[in-house]
């Protein structure tokens, strides 16, 4: 039987645009009968090398443009993956929705709360469209184990959950400034806007909604080279630790949720982790050691972590053998697979949905409160 095809346009052909293209190119990897993504249009600002990479590798591309409305006006495009700098999210996402295309957008889904609210208002006018935000790390098999385990309630009563994302590339103080370090383009949230949703996806999905936040934000690198021989101020937040309190819907008890987003974490390349500590059991997973799932059962005085090596199977089964390893690109493909399953309208039993627009809005309310908390030194309620 011919599988349904969804024709995608990509706006933004940088780091993430290419990752999306590569995932689509090896769709045969997934054993799933949801619709198949086909790349028919691409748009970026001006980089010809990036365009050439796409046109060389994707014979299906029909539209190549630097004007994103060309993709929105085309009847050869059903859905858009949009990966552009944060100050462009509001306008482009709203235009995508008005053109009647499904949207897989990138985080933080608007540069600030105001932009996100305007995107949310437009979404409510298009209930027929699927709108989701990118976040791939919950699709690692180890992260899947964590969410399955949380749902089983084996932790007893939650004591603390720590969810974080650590980078170290900014430890190099000679790294030239780019748009991710410029407030006007990246946003006031700094590292929280860049990395925050990655740390919030699983907690929010588990029903853990922060009631208040106390934020500790750091600006460590005060200047950076601008790549043209000068030194310029670097004003974005490098590191953030948010301490929050949530109610656990499974027990009705309150616990501490700590969300860490750090651009200057010595030794960490792109480390996403989640740790769940409970009275009866605890688990932890980190992409630093992607085959390892750790669990601990509290049965008496002495407790010890058990490490098990896990295989590559995530939510959507794949052709990969059971003893092989899983990586970033696999998680990104699984995330798009979840988007395709959502589009199929027969959601798979085991699916883990992409971040919803409502979850991006909660994220913005949390991060806006975090800025206020740091500025005032107080803990701030999240309305
Ligand atoms: N999911 C993830 O793991 C992850 C990782 C990195 C970045 N991101 C997010 O992806 C988005 C893009 O980040 P990136 O690292 O790919 O950036 P990038 O700088 O590598 O690429 C940005 C792209 O946007 C294009 N662009 C800029 N202005 C444009 C315009 N007006 N019209 C069309 N194209 C335009 C540029 O030409 C470039 O191709 C951001 O929202 C970022 O937060 C997500």
Nearest CA, atom 30, ligand 1: 45
Sign of CA dihedral 37, 43, 46, 51: positive
* CB of residue 44 inside a 6 A radius of ligand 1: yes
* CB of residue 178 inside a 6 A radius of ligand 1: no
Whether the per-residue pLDDT at 1 is higher than 90: the answer is no
Give the per-residue pLDDT at 344. Answer: 87
Distance 185 CA to ligand 1 centre (A): 11
The predicted model scores a pTM of 0.97
* CB of residue 13 inside a 6 A radius of ligand 1: yes
* CB of residue 194 inside a 6 A radius of ligand 1: yes
Distance 220 CA to ligand 1 centre (A): 24
Distance 180 CA to ligand 1 centre (A): 10
Whether the per-residue pLDDT at 309 is higher than 70: the answer is yes
Give the per-residue pLDDT at 248. Answer: 98
Dist. CA 13–CA 49, nearest whole Å: 10
Nearest CA, atom 11, ligand 1: 83
Q: Are 342 and 354 in contact (CB under 8 A)?
A: yes
Name the E strands within the chain: 5-11, 36-43, 63-65, 79-82, 102-105, 131-133, 158-166, 212-218, 223-225, 231-233, 239-247, 254-262, 271-278, 281-286, 292-297, 306-309, 380-381
Six token digits for residue 31: 């054993």
Task: Outline where 125-240 has alpha helix (H).
Answer: 141-152, 183-186, 191-205
Q: What is the mean pLDDT of residues 180-190?
A: 95
Among 126-140, 288-302, 360-374, where is mean pLDDT lowest? 288-302
Give the per-residue pLDDT at 347. Answer: 63
CA angle, residues 224, 229, 231, in degrees to nearest 5 = 30
CA angle, residues 270, 317, 139, in degrees to nearest 5 = 25
Q: Report domain extents, the chain.
A: 5-133, 138-321+356-381
Fold of 5-133: Rossmann fold (3.40.50)
Nearest CA, atom 31, ligand 1: 45
Dist. CA 247–CA 225, nearest whole Å: 45
| Cα of 47 vs its chain's centroid, Å | 25
What integer best gives the mean pLDDT of the chain? 96
Q: What is the mean pLDDT of residues 232-248?
A: 96
Give the per-residue pLDDT at 79. Answer: 98
- Same fold for the pair 5-133 and 138-321+356-381: no
**pLDDT single digits (tens) 35-59:** 999 999 999 999 999 999 999 999 9
Distance 85 CA to ligand 1 centre (A): 5
Dist. CA 320–CA 311, nearest whole Å: 9
Fold of 138-321+356-381: Dihydrodipicolinate Reductase; domain 2 (3.30.360)
Among 86-90, 187-191, 226-230, where is mean pLDDT lowest? 226-230
Dist. CA 131–CA 133, nearest whole Å: 7
Nearest CA, atom 23, ligand 1: 12
Give the per-residue pLDDT at 383. Answer: 81
* CB of residue 43 inside a 6 A radius of ligand 1: yes
* CB of residue 104 inside a 6 A radius of ligand 1: no
**pLDDT single digits (tens) 94-108:** 999 999 999 999 999
pLDDT bin (cut points 50, 70, 90) of residue 169 is: confident
**pLDDT single digits (tens) 202-220:** 999 999 999 999 999 999 9
**pLDDT single digits (tens) 81-93:** 999 999 999 999 9
Distance 44 CA to ligand 1 centre (A): 9
Distance 107 CA to ligand 1 centre (A): 10
């Amino acid at each position: 039987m011919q599988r349904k095809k969804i024709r995608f346009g990509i706006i933004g052909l940088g780091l993430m645009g290419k990752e999306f293209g590569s995932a689509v190119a090896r769709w045969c990897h997934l054993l799933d009968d949801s619709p198949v993504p086909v790349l028919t249009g691409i748009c970026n600002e001006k980089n010809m090398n990036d365009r050439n990479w796409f046109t060389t590798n994707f014979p299906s591309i029909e539209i190549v443009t630097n004007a994103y409305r060309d993709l929105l006006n085309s009847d050869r495009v059903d859905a858009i993956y949009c990966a552009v700098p944060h100050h462009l999210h509001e306008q482009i996402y709203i235009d995508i929705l008005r053109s009647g295309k499904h949207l897989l957008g990138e985080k933080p889904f608007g540069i600030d709360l105001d932009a996100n609210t305007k995107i949310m208002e437009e979404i409510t006018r298009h209930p027929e469209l699927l709108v989701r935000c990118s976040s791939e790390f919950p699709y690692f098999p180890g992260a899947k184990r964590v969410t399955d385990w949380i749902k089983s309630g084996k932790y007893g009563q939650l004591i603390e959950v720590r969810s974080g994302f650590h980078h170290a590339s900014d430890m190099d103080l000679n790294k030239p400034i780019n748009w991710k370090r410029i407030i006007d383009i990246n946003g006031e949230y700094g590292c929280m806007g860049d990395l925050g949703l990655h740390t919030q996806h699983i907690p929010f999905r588990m029903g853990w909604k922060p009631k208040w936040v106390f934020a500790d934000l750091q600006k460590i690198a005060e200047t950076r080279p601008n790549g043209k021989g000068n030194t310029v101020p670097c004003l974005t937040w490098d590191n953030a630790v948010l301490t929050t309190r949530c109610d656990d819907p499974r027990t009705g008890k309150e616990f501490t949720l700590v969300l860490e987003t750090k651009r200057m974490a010595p030794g960490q390349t792109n480390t996403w982790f989640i740790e769940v500590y409970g009275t009866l059991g605890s688990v932890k997973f980190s992409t630093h050691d992607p085959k390892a799932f750790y669990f601990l059962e509290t049965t008496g005085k002495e407790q010890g972590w058990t490490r098990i090596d896990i295989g590559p199977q995530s939510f959507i089964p794949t052709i990969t053998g059971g003893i092989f390893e899983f990586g970033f690109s696999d998680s990104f493909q699984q995330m798009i697979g979840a988007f395709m399953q959502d589009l199929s309208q027969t959601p798979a039993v085991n699916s883990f949905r992409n971040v919803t627009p409502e979850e991006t809005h909660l994220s913005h309310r949390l991060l806006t409160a975090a800025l206020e908390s740091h500025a005032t030194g107080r803990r701030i309620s999240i309305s």
